[in-house]
Amino acid sequence: MTAGSTVTTVERLGEHVGQTVTLRGWIYNRTSKGKLHFVRLRDGTGIAQCVVFKGGVSEELFEAVGAAGQESSLVLTGEVKADARAPGGFELGVSDGRVLQAVQDYPITPKEHGTDFLLSRRHLWLRSKRQWAILRIRDAIITAIRGFFDERGFVCIDSPIFTPAACEGTSTLFEVDYFGDTAFLTQSGQLYAEASAMAFGKVYTFGPTFRAEKSKTRRHLTEFWMIEPEMAFADLADVMDLAEDMICHIVQQVLERRKPELEVLERDSSKLECIQKPFPRMTYAAAGEILAAHPDSKFVAGEDFGAPDETILSELHDRPVMITNYPAEVKSFYMKRSEDGATALCVDMIAPEGVGEIIGGSQREDDYETLLARIEAQDLPREHFEWYLDLRRYGSVPHAGYGLGLERTVGWICGVEHVRETSPFPRMMTRIEP
Amino acid sequence: MTAGSTVTTVERLGEHVGQTVTLRGWIYNRTSKGKLHFVRLRDGTGIAQCVVFKGGVSEELFEAVGAAGQESSLVLTGEVKADARAPGGFELGVSDGRVLQAVQDYPITPKEHGTDFLLSRRHLWLRSKRQWAILRIRDAIITAIRGFFDERGFVCIDSPIFTPAACEGTSTLFEVDYFGDTAFLTQSGQLYAEASAMAFGKVYTFGPTFRAEKSKTRRHLTEFWMIEPEMAFADLADVMDLAEDMICHIVQQVLERRKPELEVLERDSSKLECIQKPFPRMTYAAAGEILAAHPDSKFVAGEDFGAPDETILSELHDRPVMITNYPAEVKSFYMKRSEDGATALCVDMIAPEGVGEIIGGSQREDDYETLLARIEAQDLPREHFEWYLDLRRYGSVPHAGYGLGLERTVGWICGVEHVRETSPFPRMMTRIEP
Residue B111 has pLDDT above 90, yes or no: no
- What is the β-pairing status of strands B36-42 and B20-33? antiparallel
H/E/C letters for each residue in A267-329?
CCHHHHHCCCCCCCEEEHHHHHHHHHCCCCCCCCCCCCCCHHHHHHHHCCCCCCEEEECCEHH
Chain centre to alpha carbon of residue B241: 21
**Record: contact A162-B393, CB cut-off 8 A:** no
Give A214's pLDDT tier (boundaries 50, 70, 90).
Answer: confident
Residue B162 phi, psi (nearest 5): -75, 125
Cα angle B113, B117, B122; round to 5: 105
- Rounded Cα gap, residues B408 and A98, in angstroms: 42
Which of A172, A191, A168, A400 is CA-nearest to residue B425? A191
Residue B166 has pLDDT above 80, yes or no: no
Q: What's the whole-number mean pLDDT along residues B288-302?
A: 92
Cα angle A146, B140, B265; round to 5: 155
Query: H or E element: which one contains A137?
Result: helix A129-151
Q: How far off is chain A from B160, nearest CA to CA, in Å?
A: 6
Which chain B positions have a beta carbon within 8 Å of A391's beta carbon?
Answer: 123
Query: H or E element: which one contains A227?
Result: strand A223-232
Q: What's the whole-number mean pLDDT along residues A108-120?
A: 93
- Rounded Cα gap, residues B63 and B71, in angstroms: 17
Q: What's the whole-number mean pLDDT along residues B110-125?
A: 94
Whole-number pLDDT of residue B169: 62
Query: H or E element: which one contains B288?
Result: helix B284-292
Q: How far off is chain B from A286, nearest CA to CA, in Å?
A: 33
Tell me the pLDDT tens digit for each residue of A148-159: 999 999 999 999
- Rounded Cα gap, residues B164 and A425, in angstroms: 12
Residue B283 in contact with partner chain A when CB distance is under 8 A? no
Q: Decide which of B2 and A268 is more confident.
A: A268
Helix (H, G, I), strand (E, B) or coil at A403: strand
Residue B311: CA atoms inside 13 Å, Cβ hemisphere, count?
9
Give B3's pLDDT tier (boundaries 50, 70, 90).
Answer: low
Q: What's the whole-number mean pLDDT along residues A121-143?
A: 98
- Rounded Cα gap, residues A413 and A416, in angstroms: 8
Residue B165 has pLDDT above 80, yes or no: no
Residue B1 in contact with partner chain A when CB distance is under 8 A? no
Cis peptide before B434 (omega within 30 of 0): yes
Per the CB < 8 A criterion, the answer to whether A165 and A382 are in contact is no
- Rounded Cα gap, residues A141 and A250, in angstroms: 6
Cis peptide before A164 (omega within 30 of 0): no
- Rounded Cα gap, residues A314 and B318, in angstroms: 59
> In the A/B pair of chains, how many CB contacts fall below 8 A?
242
**Record: contact B196-A424, CB cut-off 8 A:** yes
Whole-number pLDDT of residue B75: 98
Q: What's the whole-number mean pLDDT along residues B308-324?
A: 94
Q: Decide which of A235 and B164 is more confident.
A: A235
Residue A19 phi, psi (nearest 5): -100, 160
Residue B53 has pLDDT above 90, yes or no: yes
Suggest the residue from A158, A206, A256, A423 to mutate for an interface test with chain B (most B CBs closer than 10 A): A158
Residue A257 in contact with partner chain B when CB distance is under 8 A? no
Whole-number pLDDT of residue A3: 62
The mean of the pLDDT values for chain A is 95
Residue A238 in contact with partner chain B when CB distance is under 8 A? no
| Partner-chain residue, chosen from A201, A223, A393, that has the shortest CB–CB distance to B44 | A201
Which chain B positions have a beta carbon within 8 Å of A393's beta carbon?
Answer: 103
**Record: contact B153-A24, CB cut-off 8 A:** no
Q: How far off is chain A from B301, nearest CA to CA, in Å?
A: 35
Whole-number pLDDT of residue B167: 54
Give A168's pLDDT tier (boundaries 50, 70, 90).
Answer: low
- Rounded Cα gap, residues A261 and A277, in angstroms: 25
Contacts of B301 (CB under 8 A, 6+ apart): B288, B292
- Rounded Cα gap, residues A124 and A374, in angstroms: 50
Which chain B positions have a beta carbon within 8 Å of A72's beta carbon?
Answer: 395
Whole-number pLDDT of residue B58: 98
- Rounded Cα gap, residues B412 and B432, in angstroms: 24
Give A2's pLDDT tier (boundaries 50, 70, 90).
Answer: low
What percent of chain A shows pLDDT beyond 70?
98
**Record: contact A425-B192, CB cut-off 8 A:** yes
Whole-number pLDDT of residue A247: 98
Which chain A positions have a beta carbon within 8 Å of B72's beta carbon?
Answer: 395
By CB atoms closer than 10 A (0-12, 13-18, 19+), residue B61 is: buried
Residue B168 has pLDDT above 60, yes or no: no
Whole-number pLDDT of residue B6: 95
Whole-number pLDDT of residue B216: 76
Q: What's the whole-number mean pLDDT along residues B72-81?
A: 98
Which chain A positions have a beta carbon within 8 Å of B68's beta carbon?
Answer: none
pTM assigned to the model: 0.97
Which chain B positions have a beta carbon within 8 Å of A160's beta carbon?
Answer: 223, 424-425, 427, 432
| Partner-chain residue, chosen from B44, B101, B196, that has the shortest CB–CB distance to A232 | B44
Residue B224 in contact with partner chain A when CB distance is under 8 A? no
Q: Decide which of A84 and A166 is more confident.
A: A84
Which of A61, A2, A72, A58 is CA-nearest to residue A30? A72
Residue A49 has pLDDT above 80, yes or no: yes
Q: Which of residues 349-388 of A touch B (CB under 8 A)?
A: 387-388
Torsion angle (degrees, nearest 10) of CA B115, B121, B127, B128: -20
- Rounded Cα gap, residues A391 and A366, in angstroms: 8
Whole-number pLDDT of residue A80: 98
Helix (H, G, I), strand (E, B) or coil at A432: coil
Which of B241, B227, B232 is CA-nearest to residue B200? B232
Q: Tell me which of A7-21, A32-46, A299-313 is least confident.
A: A299-313
| Partner-chain residue, chosen from B24, B178, B395, that has the shortest CB–CB distance to A101 | B395
| Partner-chain residue, chosen from A44, A185, A196, that has the shortest CB–CB distance to B201 | A44
Give the C-alpha distances (Å, rounded to integers) separating A373 from A231, A339, A342. Answer: 24, 17, 16
Give A167's pLDDT tier (boundaries 50, 70, 90).
Answer: low
Q: How far off is chain B from A305, nearest CA to CA, in Å?
A: 28
Residue B391 in contact with partner chain A when CB distance is under 8 A? yes
Whole-number pLDDT of residue A86: 84
- Rounded Cα gap, residues A78 and B108, in angstroms: 68
Which chain B positions have a beta carbon within 8 Å of A162's beta carbon?
Answer: 222-223, 427, 432
Helix (H, G, I), strand (E, B) or coil at B53: strand
**Record: contact B44-A199, CB cut-off 8 A:** yes
Residue A110 has pLDDT above 80, yes or no: yes
- Rounded Cα gap, residues B178 and A370, in angstroms: 37
- Rounded Cα gap, residues A171 and B302, in angstroms: 51
Per the CB < 8 A criterion, the answer to whether B193 and B364 are in contact is no
Residue A427 has pLDDT above 80, yes or no: yes
Tell me the pLDDT tens digit for each residue of B336-392: 999 999 999 999 999 999 899 999 999 999 999 999 999 999 998 899 999 999 999
Q: Tell me which of A45-54, A134-143, A187-196, B296-305 is least confident.
A: B296-305
Suggest the residue from A425, A429, A430, A431 to mutate for an interface test with chain B (most B CBs closer than 10 A): A425
Per the CB < 8 A criterion, the answer to whether A229 and A219 are in contact is no
- Rounded Cα gap, residues A148 and A249, in angstroms: 7
Give A218's pLDDT tier (boundaries 50, 70, 90).
Answer: confident
Whole-number pLDDT of residue B157: 98
